[in-house]
Structure 1
Amino acid sequence: DAVVEVLADGAVVASVVSTAQVQTLGGITFNYRFEAIPAGTYSVRVRASGFEEQTRTGVTIRSGQETSNVNFVLSPLHVFISGLSMVSAPFDYTTGVPDIGPLLDDDDNPATPLRMATWDPAAGRYLFYPDPAARTFALGRGYWLKLARSVALTREGVGAAPNVPFALPLKAGWNLIGHPFPFSVDWFQVQVRVGPQTMTLAEALSSGILNNALFTYAFGAYRMVFQLDPFAGYWVRAFRDCELVIPPNPIRQGASRKAPWGEPEWTLTLQAEVGGRSDSITVGMHSAASGGFDPLWDQAAPPPAPEEGFLRLSIPHPEWGPYADAYRTDIRRSVPAGATWAFLLETDASREEVILRWENVRQVPGEWELTLVDEGTGARIPLRSQPSYRILTGTGGARRSLRLVAAPRTRQRLTIRDFQVLPLRGGGWQVEYDLPQRGQVTLTLRGLNGRLWRQEALGKQDPGRKRLVWQGRDAQGRPLPAGVYLLELEVETEEHYRARAVRPVPLPR
């Protein structure tokens, strides 16, 4: 049943409980009714346990007339979507609902266990339903939930104390947390308490107490966020035991959701995809960054999701002492010599193709040459000329070491050296040239009037002296008429530098 209230200037002037039975009177169908309400303009509010409160304003009541069509459709507290997601609840159910399984039944089969898990930060491992820690929702705790179909939550638990900051203990390491309030809160308004000292989030990040971002999970991949939302779960990386102090202040409309300490000079994101799953790492440069851990930019990589079928990219840094971990974002100091990032690709996808992409490569300044190196095969992939790289996994998956190299581009002049066209006995010509760099080579024959007689792509060639024979025929293999022609040799490197050389070729009668 729902409580329906009539309000004037915020004060309740009448209330009634709606009935499950629908009635009809004077041609009007209803399940709640008020009588003897004085004429005027009111608000009507409806409240029901397990559903969102709703209010309709500007309801006008006229003397001697029936007012109708003040209707409401109640929405449940929350709908947990099908599939795998990170969740929480702004309620505590540990006393009233010690087993949340029946409330989240997604297959109408009570015998099927709920697929729900939480994280033990002390042991660094997952705990699965029906473990006591993963059996029901607790305030401030995050969970993984996998549902066969979407499920509505219509039962309330015990909420956090209103207008009181919520203290959430964190252990050193990864913590899977939940948002304790039924409204969104700006992450940068959170405070951090270490012993008797309370500091701003920015101070805690600068001091290396916390990592600088929240991670949640959506559509098969982690994403970084900067606000706490009701019913969502988040990963937080602490480098020492501390407390998060979450203020009971709803986020301001239009408030910035970006980190207040500025962006790196450039970043590049590498994204891996396989079997509907994806993961990514981000590298970049900033003049204020160091060669080690930078608390404002470097972000550790969250643990893999608790299910079969994982994919993970990470930049391991075991040498970073108390900040040693696998990282998702690694920003280096911008220096003329460039930088190299060693990273790992790990997956249990068996005999599948993992695709690596770098779609934002054009955002990197052109002065940097970017190369992906596969340590397993020795392959070197120029990122500016190739959009992706594919890795075929073996039985049981793959664990592949790779490197990303950012080196300053060489701006030396590209020239084709010693281009010669020499006649051969018996007809034809020998074409010789020196390539300074590896590149795509094209040979074109034109008349003096610009007419195209033949063009041949010779493919990618390595640096060095090259020789080939041309028999003096056109594209259809027919002998060319006597005259003078222009033979043009062009090379384009993997960095898109081009060089061209032209020689006249006389064909006698």
Structure 2
Amino acid sequence: MTVRRITLLFALVSLLSSQSYELRTFQISLSQKPMESDSLILKGALGSNFYQTSGADTLTLKGGLWNIAAGLYSEPPAVRSILPDTIYDNKMPVLARAIATDLNGIAQTNLYVQLGGDQSPIIIPMTVMNDTLFEALIPDSLISIFNLRTHVESIDNMAHTGESVYETPSVEFPENELTMEENYSYYPQGIQPEKWRMFSWPGQLDDAQVNTSSLEDGHVFYDWDPNEGQWMKPDTLKIGKGYWFKHRYGESVVFKNKNTAGMAVPLEDRTLHLHSGWNMVGSPFAFPVQTEYNEENVSGLYRWGSGNKDGWVGPVDTFEPWAGYAVYNYGDADSIVLKPFADTASASRIVSAGWKLALKADGENYFDHTGKIGRREDATENKDGFDTPTLPTLGDYLILAMDVEGQGRFEHSVDVRSLDEFNGVWDIQITGKGEPGPVSVSGSILDHMPEDLHLALVDVPGRVVVDQFLQTGLLIEETITTAYELKLVAGDEQYVERTVLNILSEIPEEFSLSQNYPNPFNPLTKIDFALPKTGEVVITIYNILGQEVTTLVNQRLDYGYHTVTWWGTDRAGRPVSSGVYFSELRARGFRQTKKMLLLK
């Protein structure tokens, strides 16, 4: 850059010497600032490229080679910083150098040191070693597991500022330096016994091997092998990966690099590549970092457990150190990008028009904080990438799920639909195992809600309508052992009122088995029955001796009114003889029988 500037100036002087001109002045300002009490006359071919734009004693020169020269002097300093690629643990300050050049001369050069997890840099003035070389020492106290990045800014004598690119070294940390008890950790008290938890390792260990063990030995690690489709016990802990961990020791387990040193990874954007389906991931950074991903294919981050309770939380957009996460990928080649600093993030994640509501279910021992419903402009009414499947369960559980496709399969925790429709009904089901109850269901607004959007929650088993659901929530007093049905109606006021009434009319007040018709019959008869709750249903036909003839229904049925036909045959399909028979309904502890007469 310096050579180019000198060459241009030499050309300018040579060209001036070959022209006819008269120069009468004390100075020519290349700063484009007004000159006081001076006169300037330029003649000849060169002078014809200049013109005066103001009167009196102030003269501004524009055009021709003058602009080239003025442009050179108005350019900012060229700055290059020099820092080791790896900072080793030698308890010594780190020497940072910079080379800064500018035609106006360098007035000041500063080193900016930004620690991981801190958005405000530390400014260290650099010492002038010669016209272009500057040095500064980074104190050893700033070297830590959180790592750092640096850049240099130089100001020339005309107040123009130039800066270098960022230097992002690796930082070595010694044994016992990286611990789960540090400030940013998601598990500052360690991982409690007898609880499955997901964790990850925020750093590159020199020796990352783990001994294979089982829970009977005291603890166990598990990883998911997507290629084999099965759980495996890892022999090495890798950065960017999440692992399941459980132990049976008397106190909480605190992880640290006890017998091995390691490296804090450079503070650069880091990409985690995802395979199709569920992935177990973690952050390689020792401080919280934001993420960027394609919301149409990637679910966001889900975390397991909170305190002494078990359940899923999410999705969240921040990776916390030591925590492990589950993330779902609908595509084959998508990824999540970890952003250690806000200035490397995109201007903002595009906020889609629409609305979104968070749904939570909280019990005595378990919870599910993954429910989301809503509408957005780029979603569809059918299943798409914005609809996240329910997460895997571990032993006992509490799950809030939705029937996205309207086929009675409650397999999703998120159901986001198109803005092409305003009105709609979301079918919700809460299931539990080992949860004594009661269970509270609550909702909260995540995005702006349209002013004319009304909500009502229908408690199907209780035949109760909650008009102020967002304010009051719903408390389910009974122990949930099978599916507990809810319907959330959203739309304009008239639609909500009309739809709620229709739903209530479809919910029987009690279990009942109706008398068959026709009766007597030959060869077929119909049997109506009513179910106020969804669950397993069995309808059996017996003869006068109490012997089972056939089973007409043995399956899970939704609440409502149902009809089944008996063709007067046994379980092998053979016609039965005339006589008295009995139909029996069994469902959720209810039992009722009716007498029938077959006449041939």
TM-score by length of 1: 0.52
Q: Does 1:311 align with 2:398?
A: yes
Cα drift, residue 409 of structure 1: 0.8
Aligned to 2:439: 354
Cα drift, residue 164 of structure 1: 9.1
Identity rate, percent: 20
Contact 2:200/2:323 (<8 A) preserved: yes
Cα drift, residue 153 of structure 1: 0.8
Cα drift, residue 7 of structure 1: 4.6
Cα drift, residue 186 of structure 1: 4.3
Aligned to 1:302: 391
Q: What do the CA deviations read for 1:63-92 (whole angstroms, capped 9, x no partner)?
A: xxxxxxxxxxx8534334334542111456
Give the whole-Å Cα distance in 1 for the aligned partners of 2:470 and 2:320: 41
Contact 2:378/2:418 (<8 A) preserved: yes
- Equivalent in 211, 226, 239 of residue 317 of structure 2: 226
Give the whole-Å Cα distance in 1 for the aligned partners of 2:261 and 2:224: 22
Contact 2:288/2:319 (<8 A) preserved: yes
Number of residue equivalences: 327
Query: SS at the partner of 2:342?
Result: coil
Cα drift, residue 267 of structure 1: 2.4
Q: Does 1:382 align with 2:477?
A: no
**Counterpart residue type for residue 218 of structure 2:** P
Map of 1:84-95 to 2, 5 A cutoff?
85-91=197-203
The 3 A distance-change label for structure 1 pair 345 and 119 is farther
Query: SS at the partner of 2:476?
Result: strand
Q: Does 1:178 align with 2:282?
A: yes
Aligned to 1:97: 209
Contact 1:86/1:142 (<8 A) preserved: yes
Map of 1:107-186 to 2, 5 A cutoff?
112-122=217-227, 127=231, 131-133=232-234, 136-146=236-246, 148-155=251-258, 156=260, 170-181=274-285, 186=290
Contact 1:88/1:143 (<8 A) preserved: yes
- Equivalent in 338, 362, 373 of residue 458 of structure 2: 373
More strand by share: 1
The 3 A distance-change label for structure 1 pair 53 and 298 is closer
Give the whole-Å Cα distance in 2 for the aligned partners of 1:257 and 1:291: 30
Contact 2:269/2:344 (<8 A) preserved: no
The 3 A distance-change label for structure 1 pair 82 and 123 is same
Q: Does 1:278 align with 2:367?
A: yes
Cα drift, residue 286 of structure 1: 3.3
Q: What do the CA deviations read for 1:406-447 (whole angstroms, capped 9, x no partner)?
A: 142139xxxxxxxxxxxxxxxxxxxxxxxxxxxxxxxxxxxx
Contact 2:191/2:252 (<8 A) preserved: yes
The 3 A distance-change label for structure 1 pair 319 and 254 is same
Cα drift, residue 351 of structure 1: 3.6
Aligned to 1:66: none
Map of 1:471-490 to 2, 5 A cutoff?
none
Cα drift, residue 166 of structure 1: 6.5
Give the whole-Å Cα distance in 2 for the aligned partners of 1:166 and 1:361: 28
* Structure 2: gaps of 5 or more residues: 1-88, 99-135, 150-175, 182-186, 496-600
**Counterpart residue type for residue 269 of structure 1:** A
Give the whole-Å Cα distance in 1 for the aligned partners of 2:343 and 2:213: 36
More helix by share: 2
Contact 2:356/2:372 (<8 A) preserved: yes
Cα drift, residue 355 of structure 1: 0.9
**Counterpart residue type for residue 176 of structure 1:** M
Aligned to 1:238: 329
Contact 1:159/1:181 (<8 A) preserved: no
**Counterpart residue type for residue 473 of structure 2:** S
Give the whole-Å Cα distance in 2 for the aligned partners of 1:120 and 1:352: 35
Q: What do the CA deviations read for 1:335-392 (whole angstroms, capped 9, x no partner)?
A: 6661011122122134421111224499644533322223334333223597122224
* Structure 1: gaps of 5 or more residues: 12-40, 56-73, 103-109, 189-200, 412-509
Contact 2:398/2:435 (<8 A) preserved: no
Aligned to 1:45: 140
Give the whole-Å Cα distance in 2 for the aligned partners of 1:315 and 1:369: 20
The 3 A distance-change label for structure 1 pair 168 and 389 is closer
Cα drift, residue 54 of structure 1: 10
Contact 1:90/1:231 (<8 A) preserved: yes
Cα drift, residue 171 of structure 1: 3.1
Aligned to 2:351: 262
Give the RMSD, CA atoms, in angstroms: 4.7
Query: SS at the partner of 2:140?
Result: strand
The 3 A distance-change label for structure 1 pair 75 and 349 is same
TM-score by length of 2: 0.45
The 3 A distance-change label for structure 1 pair 336 and 178 is closer
**Counterpart residue type for residue 191 of structure 2:** S
**Counterpart residue type for residue 233 of structure 2:** P
The 3 A distance-change label for structure 1 pair 4 and 273 is same
**Counterpart residue type for residue 119 of structure 1:** W
**Counterpart residue type for residue 138 of structure 1:** K
Map of 1:284-433 to 2, 5 A cutoff?
284-295=374-385, 297-304=386-393, 306=394, 308-317=395-404, 326-334=411-419, 338-360=423-445, 364-384=449-469, 387-394=472-479, 397-410=481-494
**Counterpart residue type for residue 291 of structure 1:** E
Give the whole-Å Cα distance in 2 for the aligned partners of 1:229 and 1:289: 29
Give the whole-Å Cα distance in 1 for the aligned partners of 2:138 and 2:483: 62
Give the whole-Å Cα distance in 1 for the aligned partners of 2:373 and 2:421: 16
Contact 1:361/1:383 (<8 A) preserved: no
Contact 1:100/1:136 (<8 A) preserved: no
Give the whole-Å Cα distance in 2 for the aligned partners of 1:149 and 1:236: 27
Higher relative contact order at CA 8 Å, sep ≥6: structure 1 or structure 2?
Answer: 1
**Counterpart residue type for residue 277 of structure 1:** Y
The 3 A distance-change label for structure 1 pair 378 and 251 is same
